[in-house]
A and B are shown apart, each in its own frame.
Chain A
Amino acid sequence: MFENVDLSLVNWSRAQFALTAIYHWLFVPLTLGLSFILAIMETVYVRTGDEEWKRMTKFWMTLFGINFAIGVATGLILEFEFGTNWSNYSWFVGDIFGAPLAIEGILAFFLESTFVAVMFFGWNKVSKKAHLVSTWLVAVGASLSALWILVANGWMQNPVGMVFNPETARNEMVNFWEVLFNEVSVTKFLHSISSGFLLGSMFVVSISAYYLLKNREILLAKRSILVAGIFGFLSSLLVVYTGDISARALASAQPVKFAAFEALYEGKEKAGLVAVGLLKESDRKIGEKAVNDFVFRIEIPGFLSVMTGGSTDTFVPGIIDLINGNPERGLLSVSEKMERGRKARDLLIEFKEARKSNDTEKAEGIAALFRDKKFNDEYFRYFGYASLNKPEDAIPGVKVAFYTFHVMVMLGMLFILEFFLAIVLLFRGTLRKNRWFLWLVLFSILLPYVAGELGWMLAEMGRQPWIIQDLMPVTTAVTNVNVGSVITTFILFAVLFTVLLIAEVSIMIRQIKIGPKH
């Protein structure tokens, strides 16, 4: 019933999903951010009747369209890859996970795609106000679709609102609101969309800076910087705030990931937050995995404890506490969790055998156990641990988690500063004189992309080995197809996405060079 899977199949399947997700996230944040900026610009146009604002809206809308199409294409693949490459996962949790995907289609995608056509082609076909409403609805639709997919993702990080049914061998939803208002989902949603707003703003500010450097389109560029600078500044503050509450949510839902991105091995009170640091593998080991030490670090004392629990006295568990256990702090060891997970799994096997031999009484007894809260809290919640081979398998890549997190945070701080300076220089009227700053923001255009991708790498690689936290490792989630098929499709997707990306960037650069129509 529980077979060993080919690890190369798991890795290629992960690679294919990662490839699609990474490409998808190159396009989605710009859609999220730019759609609101378009809506704001068009609102000013409708209120003032100033044709220049309409010209601006139309120009940015052209760039929006180039980006939108490819975001849609990569999104389709992601949705279906849950089925094609993670079919065991799709069954094990489809009862919960499918719903947000369906709601996303019904509620968000139709809104987006219906009104995007009105937005592009409706200038002379519907009234000014109807057009403006359409543009706003595109923006709302984009963020709504982000909501539902992040509800789905948040649930994988922190599974709630369900109970396991041994009869069907799957988890079944029992509380929709718990799934929707899952703390991890809500914070992840806010963090993701605000990072999209930030990226869209930087995109507009950077391209406007390019025009100022070229002494072209001065009015359009300044007005664009006004809108995107303020929107970006507010968004960058929101990104920091939502990042902080996301981290706090992770501290309780995914303590190993939390400890990994701080490279905290020994848990402590008054734990400091590492601002900058460099890691090196040491001779110490947890099982077969080497412990990473700091070559150097700059720490903000006590801040990690404050982030976790609001006080410097909060104990922050380290990776060693979480793997080897810490009875003083009430932390179970992974081997204990493996033991408990196996008990739950053995019970499932017993249940299936009882059903086969028509031992209804026994089967019903076990089924009742799976509905019991105590059994769930003490045993079933560790179900996934049954599939681990060694305790240290529960440790994600610490270096990856640490560096992705810290580079992302540093970039976040840089963005606040850049937007702030953009607004100050604009209001002082010295923006064009400070060419160094224009060059700086022009070169910063790619940095929010880097930050966003790093954030996702942290979120997804930092939770390994789990596809669903504690319940299912990636190894048991994968579709049983031959690895050759997956390698082939990986290469096909990689080539196709890359070619399309090159075309997209080339068209985008050309349109920017052509500039707005007169």
Chain B
Amino acid sequence: MTLMISYNFLQAYWWIIISLLASLLVFLMFVQGGQSMIFSLPGNELQKTMLVNALGRKWEFTFTTLVTFGGAFFASFPLFYSTSFGGAYWVWIAILFSFIIQAIAYEYRSKPSNVLGRKTFDIFLFINGSLGPFLIGTAVATFFTGSQFSLNELNQVRWGTPWHGLEALLSARNLALGLAVLFLARTNGLLYIINTVDDTGLFERSHGKLAVNAISFLVFFLFFVIVLLLSEGFAYDRSTGAVTLEKFKYLHNLIRMPVVLVIFLTGVVSVLYGIGIALFRASRSAIWFTGSGTILAVMALFLIAGFNGTAFYPSTSDPESSLTIARASSSFFTLKTMMYVSFIVPFVVIYIWYAWRAMNRKKITGDEMQEGGHMY
């Protein structure tokens, strides 16, 4: 049987997979959000140990999702990989740095003879927790605000500023998304702790911090979304390949793609509902609402960045160089091969779900922390 699969379909399919991976990454950054409160959230050493161990049993999911996101982006849209990583060099290097120090911090912090001392490793966790989500959010904002670069006939990148990506930090819109992602990660981190740790003291402290983090998230998120919907966007014409600025482009995208609009609104409502039941009803399972809401909302943002004739990685200095999913994608053959590979993903999800449930069946308690098993 030969399936009639078009190149356009495969490009869209892979953009959806990339969007899904990105949205899972943002949700899983609850680990980072929790880390960013390592000094402020726990009231004593035991609470800190519980916090770190609750997060530490999940850090590898976030890390692996980041690696897979990178790999999948490389395989499906290599021109983005070469353009953005090579061009916005410093932003990506800063992000990578913050993740190297995370990977070892959990394992080493409480081990004797760890040279740097527990405090240093906790600072590593704090840096990764704060900088990671913030910088990733800022970098993703450039999908909408654009960067200064040009590509030559061989598709080789030349970056327009000597700052190699750091200039993204000068835009209020980029910063707003960076901060929104950070505060969302912190909100999800608090809700995860509330869900996983069985400790009254830590619960009360987490609950107490929830309002300010959730409101901060909402302020930055709303600012970013409102400006986004009112601003110009980078539209391209499939037949001519020309990239032009279009007023209210992203608003148009939402209206032209009602499914995406529904996904977006469901996501936002779900996040708000989760925050609401956590704040007012002291719910312990709010993370599932804010978590799934995060996944839906982020996915919708990625979809309006790439679909409906939009350049997902625009160049402000040379619009013709802007990356669209059609231009940046791999060949038909590679996308098709990778589509077959992607059919394995449901099995991956099933065993992750099994492992997650098995490990979270019992809540983390102070007693467990003192039993002396493998501990962070």
Contact = CB atoms under 8 A, between A and B. Distances in A.
Interface of A: 1, 61-62, 65-66, 68-70, 72-77, 79-80, 82-88, 90-91, 94-99, 101-107, 109-118, 120-126, 130, 134, 165, 168-170, 172-174, 176, 352, 479-482, 485, 489, 492, 496, 499-500, 502-504, 506-507, 509-511, 514, 517
A481 B159 contact: yes
Given A69-B108, A83-B82, A90-B74, A165 B331 contact: yes
B100 A503 contact: no
Contacts of B104: 69-70, 73, 500, 503-504
A125 B71 contact: no
A68 B217 CA distance: 35
B359 A87 contact: no
Interface of B: 57-58, 60-61, 63-64, 66-68, 70-72, 74-76, 78-79, 81-87, 89-90, 92-93, 96-97, 99-104, 106-108, 111-116, 152-159, 162, 164, 330-331, 333-334, 337-338, 341-342, 344-345, 348, 351-352, 355, 358-359, 361-362, 372-374
9 contacts: A73-B103, A83-B82, A84-B89, A91-B155, A98-B334, A106-B348, A125-B358, A481-B164, A507-B111
Given A99-B337, A109-B68, A121-B374, A485 B164 contact: yes
Contact of A118 (B70, B78, B358, B361): B358
Nearest to A170: B155
Given A73-B100, A98-B330, A173-B337, 19 more contacts: A1-B152, A66-B111, A73-B99, A73-B101, A79-B70, A87-B157, A88-B82, A91-B81, A101-B75, A102-B68, A114-B352, A118-B359, A122-B359, A165-B331, A176-B337, A480-B86, A492-B97, A506-B113, A517-B372
B282 to A, nearest CB: 27
Contacts of A489: 93
Contacts of B87: 87
B331 A83 contact: no
A74 B100 contact: yes
B152 A496 contact: no
Contact of B57 (A117, A172, A176): A117
A506 B104 CA distance: 14
Given A106-B68, A109-B67, A117 B60 contact: yes
B108 A503 contact: yes
B334 A118 contact: no
A116 B344 contact: no
Between B115, B159, B345, the greatest number of chain A beta carbons within 10 A of the residue's beta carbon is seen for: B115
Between B64, B87, B164, B361, the greatest number of chain A beta carbons within 10 A of the residue's beta carbon is seen for: B64
Given A95-B334, A105-B68, A83 B84 contact: yes
Contacts of B70: 79-80, 83, 101, 105
Contacts of A69: 103-104, 106-108
A107 B344 contact: yes
A-B pairs, 8 with minimum CB distance: A87-B86, A94-B78, A83-B85, A105-B68, A98-B75, A73-B103, A98-B74, A510-B113
A117 B74 contact: no
A352 to B, nearest CB: 5
Contacts of A85: 86
B156 A91 contact: yes
A113 B63 CA distance: 9
Interface majority SS (helix, strand, loop, mixed), chain B: helix
Given A70-B104, A499-B116, A91 B78 contact: yes
Contact of B90 (A169, A174, A485): A485
B82 A103 contact: no
A87 B83 contact: yes
A300 B108 CA distance: 49
Nearest to A94: B78
A117 B60 CA distance: 8
Contacts of A103: 71, 75, 338, 341
A105 B355 CA distance: 18
A168 B71 CA distance: 21
Contacts of B159: 480-481
B74 A174 contact: no
A510 B89 contact: no
B355 A114 contact: yes
A116 B96 CA distance: 22
Contacts of A492: 97
A514 B93 CA distance: 38
B86 A83 contact: yes
B325 to A, nearest CB: 14
A90 B153 contact: no
B79 A121 contact: no
Given A65-B374, A74-B100, A90 B85 contact: yes
A347 to B, nearest CB: 14
Contact of B153 (A77, A97, A169, A500): A169
Contact of A496 (B81, B100, B107, B331): B100
A95 B331 contact: yes
Contact of B71 (A77, A79, A120, A507): A79
B75 to A, nearest CB: 3
Contacts of A94: 74-75, 78-79, 81-82, 330
Contact of A109 (B58, B64, B361): B64
Contacts of A121: 57, 359, 373-374
A152 B52 CA distance: 36
A110 B81 contact: no
A466 B359 CA distance: 47
B86 A72 contact: no
A172 B332 CA distance: 9
Nearest to A352: B153
Contacts of B153: 1, 169, 352
B320 to A, nearest CB: 13
Contacts of B63: 72, 76, 113
A380 B38 CA distance: 57
Contact of B112 (A97, A504, A507): A507
A106 B82 contact: no
Nearest to B156: A88
A80 B74 CA distance: 9
B368 to A, nearest CB: 9
A98 B76 contact: yes
A450 B152 CA distance: 43
A169 B111 CA distance: 51
Contact of A507 (B57, B64, B113, B344): B113
A104 B71 contact: yes
Contacts of B351: 111, 114
Contacts of A507: 108, 111-115
B260 to A, nearest CB: 25
Contacts of A124: 373
Contacts of A96: 334
Nearest to A99: B75
Contact of B358 (A1, A122, A517): A122
A147 B313 CA distance: 32
A102 B338 CA distance: 9
A76 B57 contact: no
A91 B355 contact: no
A72 B351 CA distance: 21
